[in-house]
Structures are given as structure tokens and as C-alpha cells.
Amino acid sequence: MIATRTRLDRFISRETGINRRDVRAMLAQGRIVVDGEVAHDIQQIIHQFSRVSVDGEILQDNQPCYIMLNKPAGVVSATKDKQHKTVIDLIGSTNGVDRDSLHIAGRLDFNSTGLLLLTNDGRWSRNLSLPENNVTKSYRVELEEPVTEKYIEAFAQGFYFEYEDITTQPAELRIVSERVAEVDITDGRYHQIKRMFGRFQNKVLVLHRYAVGTLQLDPALEPGEYRELSSNEMTTISETISINTT
């Protein structure tokens, strides 16, 4: 699988060892097919999900994969870890996609739970995290001390984090009960929600993410379970983000 977009002649040369000058002749002979069409332009752009064949032999036929996982506590949001189980360890075979090709689109802390997205599509995950796309992440938070109305205004104003020298984007806080709140944020700084409540000396006991943009965690998924996103879910989240195809 290629990590970035590349020209057709460079791709063919790398995958076959054929000199790039000879690729032009192969194109003229109609020997190269890209996504079901005979290729003619050596400058045609190939990406990781382009289906490419030469003389009927498939050089690349990767399938995109988009997974929703209900992350349990005590699992690391990483692809590899020497000490702890990772979210990749929870994933089995998914339509023939190699789980080692998956990466995480927006991490959760070790003890945090809820909606985690995994994919092998770097453009899709990158656009989910682009600041200008303002993708909202929604959390349910259980706290040690009561939440009051003053939290709402403070979260809406944002918090200055001296270590990073940044001020967080305005966040929406909704009081659910005395010690339970829902929080929507568009940025995702290190331990951001815990640090925001920490300004009130209020310890976060449980942090659960239930939505990313328009994607809601499937209530049928038990902790540790996962499924691929439906076509409708892909359509709605694609309306939230701008896929960069350049």
C-alpha cells in the first residue's frame, strides 16, 4: 500500500522494476488498467485505493475500511504497546483488510471509553482532525464534585493552557445531573476535558465519548465490540468534513 499519492509511471516502476521510460510504451499498448479503465497518461495520479493491473496482473487492489469501536477502559489507543492491550488487538478480520494497516482517527485516554474510529484511509482521518473542519466530539462526564452554572460560562470562554501556550476553542457544557455533564469540544488537546474540569478542582471519574461529528456510538455495541460504518454514516460524516483530494 502506498502512503501518499504518486504518478502512474513512478508507481509502475516501483512495483515492477520496469524503467519509467518503458512505461510510456506499455501505456500506448493498452497494457495498464487503472480502476477498470485503460490508462493512457503517465502523469495519472495513483492513490492507495486505486486498483492497478499490468497485463492482467493486479499490482494493487486495496479496499478502504472505516470502523466504529466501543473502546473499553484499560485499553491503549495505539497500534502497538509492549505492556497493555491495544485497540488494534480488539480488531479481527474485516472484509479481508489487514488490521495492521489500520490507524486511529482521534485517540481516547487509557481509562476513557466510548466511540473510537479506526481506518486505513489517511486522507479521511486527517480531515476529521483538521481544525478548520471544526468536527465536534461529544462526551459524557461523571465528576467527583457537583457541577454548577459557572462551569457553562467558563467552558464557553475557553481555557488557557500555559504549557502549550494555547487557549482552547469554546466548548459547550450541559448539566445532566448534579455530578454528570455532557461536553462538546472541537479541539482535542492532551487530557483536555480532565484539565478543564481540573480548573475547578473537580476530578473526572468517568469520561465517555458518544459522538464524533454526526457519528453516534451504536448502542448495540458492547465495550470491545466494533463494526464497519454504514454507507449512510459515511455519507453524513462526509458532509461534515472536506475531503482533501489534492
β-pairing, 137-143 vs 204-212, is antiparallel
When the pLDDT of each residue in the chain is averaged and rounded to a whole number, the result is 91
* CATH of segment(s) 136-212: 3.30.70.1560
Query: In CATH terms, is domain 6-60 a member of 3.40.50.2020?
Result: no
- List residues with catalytic annotation: 109
| Rg over CA atoms, the chain | 22
Residue 174: pLDDT band (50, 70, 90) is very high
**What's this model's pTM, rounded to 2 decimal places?**
0.85
In the DSSP assignment, the letter for residue 192 is H
* Domain layout of the chain by residue ranges: 6-60, 63-133+221-246, 136-212
Give DSSP secondary structure letters for 151-169: HHHHHHH--EETTTTEEPP
Q: What is the pLDDT of residues 69-83, one digit of tens each?
A: 999 999 999 988 889
Burial (Cβ within 10 Å: 0-12, 13-18, ≥19) of residue 9: buried
Cell numbers placing 59: 499490482
Q: What is the pLDDT of residues 193-245, one digit of tens each?
A: 999 999 999 999 999 999 999 999 999 999 999 999 999 999 888 877 765 43
pLDDT of the residue at 178: 97
Which long-range CB contacts under 8 A does 160-163 form with residues at least 24 apart?
A: 161/189, 161/195
Topology match between the domains 6-60 and 63-133+221-246: no
* CATH of segment(s) 63-133+221-246: 3.30.70.580
